[in-house]
Structure 1
Amino acid sequence: MTVHENREAFIPYNRTDIIKLCLQDGQLDQAETETFKEFCQILAAYYHFRFYHTLEIIKENYIPFNPNADIQPMTPPTFEQYDEMELKVVDAFKNIVERANYILLPQPLVQRALDTKSLIDLKTQVDFDEFDRFICYYQGDTNKKISIKKLFFWQEEKIIDIFERIVLLVKFKEADYFRNKKDKINELKFIPGKMYVYFYKNIPKLDIDLLFPNVATSMTWKDRLLFGIPAIGAAIPLILRALPNLLLLLAAILLVLNIPFFIESLDVEPDKVRNVMPVLVATLSLAIALGGFAFKQYTNYKNKKIKFQKDVTETLFFKNLANNASVFQMFIDLAEEEECKEIILVYYHLLTSPIPLNPQQLDARIETWMEKKLGTTINFDIQGPLNNLENIYGKVNTNDKTAPEIPLLTYDDQGCCHVLPLEDARRVIDYVWDNAFLYNGINLS
């Protein structure tokens, strides 16, 4: 099988469109068209049942890790059960995400994105040591042109790399870890020990860091200069105006400490130093001036921080597709769709091919057909649907109790793939669906 660079296995059309595309190909007559529709309908129902079983596993085991859970288990899990439940959720998550044709994003690539300046003018930091688990998958590695505001009315056009879809799972360490770090548990932006799952669309690669619930943000050096230089400029005339009061206060302190030599060097009138009232007035004036200045600068800083947080919120709010438990539900649907589309395409092309095809030839045929029909270039995942067809067993003649169960797909001695004729295939999948709850030997996860 040829692997094409920058191609992905994801099929960007729904199952109904793929079925219509097959029927519009003109390879099936009217009777076969109806049988093919029935085959696809029963196949979809069967896979809906299979993935429903996976969803139930996730729902049952995610309860202790769900930060938004509104129910609690009647009996809290033991440590061994807790670890086992976590593993079941993670394994099921990886399974459905990969079957939805998402691609694993290794942590070094994520770290590289974190080390690169974000599109939002923020300094960010993510502490990966706070995670027990970190898993990230993406779909659609592409780029687009955007306009970035520079000075005043000047805007710069820039091409950025984005992930069209990105899903992130993080499991935080338990509360004891954060207590040992002297962190205040009630001030954390997350709940220790919980598992957070996020699903976003159209996220620039340089903004991945903003997806993490423990991201720490601060000003860049440029913002610090833009904030600090005006503050210094405003402080200089204030200090000059407050200098006489400051010297008077300093002289009063030196008088109390009995250091008359330094008092003379400050060039302050001795009578004012020994008079309590001018000293109190000077102290109060200095406190008001410096306090007012400090409050103003603190307010400016808080406003700047609020603006940063607003930028981050706006960036993520409109790109968020789902959080936590709802992510699993969405990926169950996505995985179910992808699985069915792949099986339908493989079965249809083996059924209509004039010559036997091995997996490599079948893979190339489907990719070429998709590009010709839809202008879509994909790197079709051939082995998955072949395995699925090979593992679906059923009876063609359901009236004969002694008749053996046969698979939808077999291989000949030359390694070519063969599927059952359409009517037989419909009967087999119908038999499998009718006996779905009796299939103890089939892995429904």
Structure 2
Amino acid sequence: MNSARHENFIPVRKVELVKALTKKIPARQRGEFNRFCRIVGSIYHFNYHQNLERLKELYVPFDPDAEKYLVQIKSDVPDNTEDKQEKILGEINALLKSGNYKEIPYSELEKAFKGASPWGIDLIVDFSQYEYYSIYYKGERRDSLEKKYLWFKKRYEFDMYDRIFFAFKLKETFTESDTLSFSKDKLYLKLFKNVPGLDLEMLFPNTNVRISLFDKGKVIVPLVAGGISSLYKIMLYVLSQGSPMVLWRQIGFWSLVGGFFIFALKSFLGYKNTIEKYLKTLTSNLYFQNLDNNSGVLTCLLDDAEEQECREILLAYYFLYSEPGVHTQKSLDERIERYFAEELLFECDFEVDDALRKLKELGLLKVKGKKLDVAPLKEACRILDRQWDGYFN
């Protein structure tokens, strides 16, 4: 069974789920069931498209990638940036919740920031630079990687997040040099994949690299050893010459001193190479793990939430339809979770109350005491057809 922890999200694509459920439906009803699935998908796609248009409009004042060549039509309504920011953040948080993302609290971030992953880099984050930041995740699992040292290998276990959403806004008090290429009046949205829990700090801009003790040792130990060796040779040379006045005329002495400084320069260049290696690792990680940015993140989140809601509805409807008059809310929840465990080999914490609420909103749910039922397929399709036609009438 998959090693992921119990999650609320359903880790199966809607298309694959429809195929799997259709196989379990009697052959004569499969056409009608597929039609039902298409209408449900169309209704939710239309609704989420409306939400996307609204969110994009709310996000325009804060979008770092907004098209500046477009003409802005002035409005008679006073522009209250704080209210707009609060509203867009509220909408985004609601969207994340509907997509089954969970917020990572500051206490968890502190744990992540105390150390670096053995294969990654250690960064220092200055939280005083941020007016606002939040990090959400979806899909948490245990993973492991093997790292090779000089004479042995060691395997490390760690938490891995399948998806990470990161939003931040910088404070007004920082100068352009502090904030690099980031604008202080913009709200940045980032979406990443496969982020180790110990590497969350790499998502933040304006971080400082903290070199590991091992890499510090590779720079400092040779420098100290070389310095002691050079000083020892110089002292021997001084003692062997007898007169300091003669010493300063000797080419050999300057060769030793020059050797010491060359060794120091070599150690310094080694230090710079270590920093460059760390920064290259950071850039490479961000390049391959970044999924989308800013307004593109809204599209990804809405698409994700749309798929999630459709999957919940289809699962709840299928089991209530195929096992009529049997289920209460509790037994339906257990039945769907058992389906995941037995047939898809994945432990899922199904949100049955959310699925039933959606069925009720669509007019498909029937409640008799504690028992739950749904409209038959043909009736359900007629109900959904009327709703679909109502959008354009």
Quickly say closer, same or farther: Cα 1:120–1:68, change in 2 above 3 A: farther
Any unmatched runs of 5+ in structure 2? 236-242
Aligned to 1:233, the other structure's residue is in SS state helix
Aligned to 1:318, the other structure's residue is in SS state helix
TM-score with structure 1 setting the length: 0.75
Kindly indicate whether residue 57 of structure 2 is the aligned counterpart of residue 47 of structure 1: no
1:33-432 matches, within 5 Å, as 33-71=30-68, 74=72, 81-120=80-119, 122-151=121-150, 154-174=152-172, 177-179=173-175, 185=177, 188=180, 190-236=182-228, 295-392=265-362, 407-412=363-368, 414-432=369-387
Q: CA deviation at 1:240?
A: 7.5
Larger Rg: 1
Quickly say closer, same or farther: Cα 1:229–1:101, change in 2 above 3 A: same
Kindly indicate whether residue 7 of structure 2 is the aligned counterpart of residue 8 of structure 1: yes
Contact kept? 2:130, 2:170, Cα under 8 Å: yes
Which amino acid is 1:154 matched to? Answer: F
Aligned to 2:226, the other structure's residue is in SS state helix
Aligned to 1:203, the other structure's residue is in SS state strand
Aligned to 2:240: none
CA–CA distance in 2 between the matches of 1:301 and 1:386?
A: 60
Aligned to 2:174, the other structure's residue is in SS state helix
CA–CA distance in 2 between the matches of 1:173 and 1:79?
A: 23
Quickly say closer, same or farther: Cα 1:121–1:24, change in 2 above 3 A: closer
Any unmatched runs of 5+ in structure 1? 244-266, 393-406, 439-445
Which amino acid is 2:140 matched to? Answer: D
CA–CA distance in 2 between the matches of 1:408 and 1:430?
A: 12
CA–CA distance in 2 between the matches of 1:195 and 1:99?
A: 21
Quickly say closer, same or farther: Cα 1:84–1:331, change in 2 above 3 A: same
Q: How many residues align?
A: 380
1:197-245 deviations in Å (ceiling 9; x for gaps): 22222221111111222322121334323312322333456667889xx
Aligned to 2:87, the other structure's residue is in SS state helix
1:145-176 deviations in Å (ceiling 9; x for gaps): 3111212x5321222221122222222222xx
Quickly say closer, same or farther: Cα 1:324–1:379, change in 2 above 3 A: same
Quickly say closer, same or farther: Cα 1:357–1:225, change in 2 above 3 A: same
Quickly say closer, same or farther: Cα 1:142–1:359, change in 2 above 3 A: same
Quickly say closer, same or farther: Cα 1:285–1:194, change in 2 above 3 A: farther
369-378 or 232-241: bigger deviation: 232-241
Aligned to 1:261: none
CA–CA distance in 1 between the matches of 2:12 and 2:322?
A: 21
Aligned to 2:80, the other structure's residue is in SS state helix
Contact kept? 2:325, 2:373, Cα under 8 Å: no
TM-score with structure 2 setting the length: 0.84
RMSD: 3.4
CA–CA distance in 1 between the matches of 2:80 and 2:183?
A: 20
Aligned to 2:382, the other structure's residue is in SS state helix
Which amino acid is 2:364 matched to? Answer: L
CA–CA distance in 2 between the matches of 1:21 and 1:268?
A: 91
CA–CA distance in 2 between the matches of 1:41 and 1:304?
A: 55
Quickly say closer, same or farther: Cα 1:158–1:285, change in 2 above 3 A: closer
Aligned to 2:238: none
